[in-house]
Amino acid sequence: MFSHINKDGQPGMVDVGDKEVTRRTAHARCIVELPAVLAEALREQDMQTKKGPVGATAIIAGVMAAKNTPGLIPMCHPIPMDDCKITIEQTADGNLQIDATVIANYRTGVEMEALTAVSIAALTVYDMCKSVTKGMVIRDTRLIEKRGGKSDFLDVSAVEGSDG
């Protein structure tokens, strides 16, 4: 049932050596819920803090995290990523919506890379803004879409409505 458990019940990496190389994409999203005082401060200061540009720093951190996913998540394969794009937008309600899309031509998917990217980008926002308030909430980290490989996935609820 679980792909990382062998017939003896022991954990192990999945052998992907015989799988076909195909184009794999994954889109993940995370919301950073901001207290009003912080949302206003970021809006007024164009996402700048004393630590630097919040959005740009979080994007760099997210890309670095995606590239280092196999060192963070046991059993993840090192994947030669072709692209990793991260966007951070302040929503109408003041929260930050972080999206990551990862693309690779490989034998296994890139969902974990996309999820790791948004998670670390969100933690970077928290770190850069905690001097204003520690009342931020990181929520709704999830896979929105994956394409390629054995099956595709689309979270219809995320596509139909806004998360922020």
Could you give the residue numbers annotated as active site? 127
Neighbours of 89 (CB within 10 A): 11
The owner of tokens 């046991």 is 74
What is the rounded distance in angstroms from the CA atom of residue 53 to the CA atom of residue 19? 42
- What is the distance of C-alpha 74 from the center of its chain? 17
Half-sphere exposure of 82 (CA within 13 A, CB side): 10
What contacts 157, CB < 8 A, 6 or more positions away?
none
The owner of tokens 């693309």 is 103
Phi, psi values for residue 47, rounded to 5°: 60, 30
